[in-house]
Amino acid sequence: MSEKKRILSGIQPSGALTLGNYVGALRNWVELQTEDEYEAFYMLADLHTITVRQEAKNLRKNSMDLLALFLAAGIDPEKSPIFFQSHVPAHVELSWVLSCNTYMGELSRMTQFKDKCQKHADNINAGLFTYPVLMAADILLYQADLVPVGHDQKQHLEITRDIAKRFNNAYSETFKLPEPYIPKVGARIMSLQDPTSKMSKSDPNENGYILLLDTPDAIVRKIKRAVTDSGSDVRRGEGKEGVENLMSIFSAVTGKTMDEIEAEFDGKGYGDFKSAVAEAVVEELRPIQEKYNELMSNRDYLQQVYRQGAQIANRVAMKTVSKVYRKVGFIQP
């Protein structure tokens, strides 16, 4: 087994990616490739996506879009396998065994289940209830040492560790206990219309988020409409959450510190600042959009990437499933 620490991460192909996804996840994943201490697997989590009803044609389009954006952002499939979750049957196979080692009470306490029930009251399905077990299977299949987690995912890592401990205690040491991976860099990008909420593609107000594939005109328009306050000073402080969010975005795409930004725009108004933020974001996303368009015209290459990724993922995942099946007492085929 590799001496490098193994990382597993993934994104659901449930819609277009935002600037927040890029700064908070994708760009950090690309950075990991320059560090020789990590071995990363990147998953397009299409099985998780169907806990909410999807139009089949939209899911297929979103899946290919997401794959192309992974590559356009700079993830190298020769260094880090990229695969569709549904192309590795071991995810579902391990999920069933782990379901039989997970308690109803644990799942009922998951806050995301409660949140999703409120948002999708017309489709409270069993998958919505048990998907933390599938998430645990995703992580444990690859014997991941580390899992990049945001604040809203910490509970999922905790239940993953609980399930792994329970299985290890019952059947002997089988799974590594994954630890959270906290990126060295990365800002938390908030909604442009509600800076107390994370930027999200599910925001009902399209002016609240910037998509990676937004046109330059759309980016400029959204940033100009971003909520600020009644003042004009570009600085941090109480009541200036909107300005601070724009400063975080500007910092994330230019590398400038918050102190440097305050000094640069001292005495200038929000109009000048918003124009600078918009220009910086447009330039950051331009090469990604150009590469994305190039990749989407080469479907054969995209297919080669996800097939190769699935082959590598299947080899690793089946080693774990075979070990688990043997330990629970299944006859080996």
Give catalytic residues, as residue numbers.
116, 198, 201
Long-range interactions of 224-230: CB distance < 8 A, separation 24+: 224/274, 224/275, 224/278, 225/192, 225/193, 226/192, 226/193, 226/274, 227/192, 227/193, 227/194, 227/195, 228/270
Q: Which residues, other chains included, contact 234 with Cβ-Cβ below 8 Å and sequence gap of 6+?
A: 243, 247, 261, 262, 265, 266, 268, 270, 273
Per the CB < 8 A criterion, the answer to whether 35 and 79 are in contact is no
148: phi then psi, degrees, rounded to nearest 5: -65, 125
CA dihedral 9, 319, 98, 143 (to 10 degrees): -40
Per the CB < 8 A criterion, the answer to whether 155 and 162 are in contact is no
Per the CB < 8 A criterion, the answer to whether 75 and 295 are in contact is no
Helix %, strand %, coil % for the chain, to 5?
Answer: 55, 10, 35
Query: What ranges make up the beta strands (E) of 19-156?
Result: 38-44, 82-84, 146-148
Integer Cα distance of 281 and 66 in angstroms: 20
